Amino acid sequence: MYYIIIISGVYFKRFLLEGFGLSATSGQIGSGLTNIISHTDLDGVTAAAVAWYANPAGNPIKISLTGYGDVDNLILEGLRRGDRVTVLDLSPQFQNAIDEIDRTAREGEIILFDHHQSSCDKIGNRPWALVDTSRCGASVYWRWLTENASDEIRERMESLRGIVALANDRDLWINENPDGRLWQALVTLCGEYSVFSRLISNPSSAMTGPERELAGRFTAAQEERFKRARDGMILSRIGSLESKEMAYLGDGYLEFGDASDFCGSVLDDPSESIGQVALVALAFRRPSGTWAVSLRSRDGLAGRVTSLLKDGRAIRGGGHGDAAALYFPANYNEKSIRESILAALAAKAESSSGMGVTLGDLLKGAAGKI
């Protein structure tokens, strides 16, 4: 049972050496270390479990569950060691990592499986990347394996079918199965490596009694935080779109793991007290002083705003159409972050109306207030 595992992520990654390497090209055992780099949410954890189950026991495998801040370094380290790197539910953020994959990837080899629109825009044409925005990252990898792996591997992976479907429901905001929220609560509470361990020892998506009870308490507490957060939201009109609003929430109201469910509750709220919210922006101050801003929408607006604002230097970002994130440097404050996002929204609205106002024009005011 994973609740009694007491081990740090660093040591877990260092000594997690059961399994083997599967070449994404041929499905044969590779000669080097198999190095799986995946995201830290339920989708990424599930994708990593799929990679584990796709490998017969016996050969070493390294599992790294990480975020966008460290993915490039992990890719570069693995490739330069000669590892068989596979990247799941993530993609490199900087050109030097992309260039290194271009240089080292073998012909016909697929080493990256993702579903984010930002990945599709940046590397979707690379022969070593499989990006499908119609399904979650775990499902992209699962589907590719079912079409290319051996019968033995497909049979072993079958035990994960339920959790892959649940991760897809959760990550694409389909929300037909309420257990998706409970599973993500377990990831938040227990940590990504703990839930990964659970799926290795017990791949069933059916939650145990203690799992359901713990996750249920967490989601009940979430609802209380959501009530307080709604009182702290700032609603702003979006440019010339008089009927559309952005809902902005500053730091200190929510906890890590709350973003998707809180934003969904705001976007889907039919009450007149909130109005017609087109975009929700949640700002979190990181320990380093930098800012992470989660963006959620229902019509692809979050992804378009992210594409407008990220510059690959001061402001980074990524994601897909309706769930994206921006990362602002420490010299920004909450007012300048909110005004920058509003400027991007206004630029998008004005360009759609043909008025020809540029983002640079609209950002001048926000930039002067940093």
What tens digit of pLDDT does each residue of 49-58 get?
A: 999 999 866 6
Same domain, 124 and 7: yes
Tally of structural domains, the chain: 2
Instruction: Catalogue the long-range contacts made by 170-174 (C-beta closer than 8 Å, 24 or more residues apart).
Output: 170/42, 170/43, 170/136, 171/41, 171/42, 171/43, 171/115, 171/136, 171/137, 172/135, 172/136, 173/260, 173/264, 173/322, 173/323
pLDDT band at 127; cut points 50, 70, 90: very high
Same domain, 246 and 201: no
CATH number at residue 307: 3.10.310.30
Whether 118 is covered by a domain: the verdict is: yes
Residue 357 or 128, more confident: 128
Same domain, 57 and 179: yes
Report yes or no: 309 and 315 within 8 Å, Cβ to Cβ. yes
Same domain, 235 and 323: yes
Whether 84 is covered by a domain: the verdict is: yes
Q: What angle is formed at CA 78 by the lines to CA 76 and CA 82, rounded to 5 degrees?
A: 115
The pair of structure tokens assigned to 191 is 């940590």
The pair of structure tokens assigned to 338 is 């909110």
Mean pLDDT of 27-38: 70
Same domain, 234 and 283: yes
pLDDT band at 9; cut points 50, 70, 90: very low
Same domain, 232 and 127: no
Same domain, 190 and 304: no
Mean pLDDT of 325-329: 94
By DSSP bridging, strand 323-328 and strand 316-320 are: antiparallel
Report yes or no: 328 and 291 within 8 Å, Cβ to Cβ. yes
> In the prediction, which pLDDT does 352 show?
60
Return d(Cα 137, Cα 159) in angstroms, integer. 18
> In the prediction, which pLDDT does 275 show?
63
- Distances 49 to 74, 296, 315 between C-alpha atoms, Å: 19, 27, 32
Q: What angle is formed at CA 326 by the lines to CA 370 and CA 179, rounded to 5 degrees?
A: 140
Three-state DSSP state, 70: coil
pLDDT band at 332; cut points 50, 70, 90: very high
Question: Which residue range forms the structural domain that includes residue 163?
Answer: 2-207
Return d(Cα 307, Cα 319) in angstroms, integer. 10
Same domain, 60 and 125: yes
Same domain, 189 and 240: no
Q: Global pTM?
A: 0.72
